[in-house]
Structure 1
Amino acid sequence: MEAPVTDDRLLHQRIAGGEEAALGELYDRFAPLVFGLSARITRDRSAAEDITQEVFISFWERPLAFDPGRGTLRAWLATIAHRRAVDHVRAQERRKASVLGPRLVEPEPERLEDAVLSRQEADGVRLAVGKLPDDLREVIELAYYRGRTYRQVAEELGLPEGTAKSRIRTGLRRLADALTEEGA
């Protein structure tokens, strides 16, 4: 389990040093995670592709925004992707509300293979979330399945914001470890 953390730190150092090949390695390693999370939240393949690109460009431009002492690179990238995807969904909802008023818009149908892959990934994540301790599972479900910000999670559960943030980070770290063990 120590090797991925060491690899991530080395990869981070290489990117911070401006090594373009390291960015390619980062993308190859984490793009499926970033894209999958973005696609699940936005339910829009094109938006998920854009968000994935934005996450990696942002990391390339500001690699020191990631602090390896505070968590894994995988969890950090997932958090950034989650935030951007939630922001995208909120912006879309505001846009639809202002243009369409109270009318509902039907989502575009998914391609069958995308739906199957998304379903398998979602089932694996759901199982891993279900195995978390109650306090961690609760914050992860609110943040990632219900689209709440850490502030909203804190408010809803009556927790200090720092506690909510900490539990979300810890929950993500445990999820990443569990999914890595399962080969996801």
Structure 2
Amino acid sequence: MTATEGFDDDAIALAFATGPSDVGLRLAYDRWGGLVLALALRVMDRADAEDVVQQTFVSAWRSRERYDPEAGPLGAWIVRIARRRIADHFRVASVLHERVVDPTVVLDRAERPHPVDVPDAVAGSILVEQTLAEMDEPQRTIVRLAVIEDLPASAIAERLELPVGTVKSHLSRTLRRLRDRWEGAHAAHLA
């Protein structure tokens, strides 16, 4: 039995637009995540396709107030977002790598299993975003530099003109807070 059994597309759209993320987002992902993944796998390897799926559902969740059921079904809206994320992926890749992708390599990599649980990754991204939004400065900037830019504490300290010990303390407390929130959200999801 899937999470979407007993829900038609209109009920899923309503839950997505008005419900909490652990219900609406999960239902939308369960219903259309495979479609978005299949769409992305046509043009990229599995790891990148799964990243696109995650980015698609995070974008959809963040902009859910802009979804208009009168303009069309939720699935079509999500597919439009996915197409934009796919285009963004190739735009960034062409700028960063300036390379042409060999289709045989893409097909080979698309067949390999990937260990990431995409729905959990989407939920994790949203949880991290929410937690970061609640933080004060300089914690928010420190975590973004450490996690997103992958800078060591010494480089962050230099950039922000803070003592290294202060940066490490902020990182430690904030990462503990993120871990506690993640474990709480994951435990609630399993219950």
What's the TM-score, normalizing by structure 2?
A: 0.47
Larger Rg: 2
What's the TM-score, normalizing by structure 1?
A: 0.48
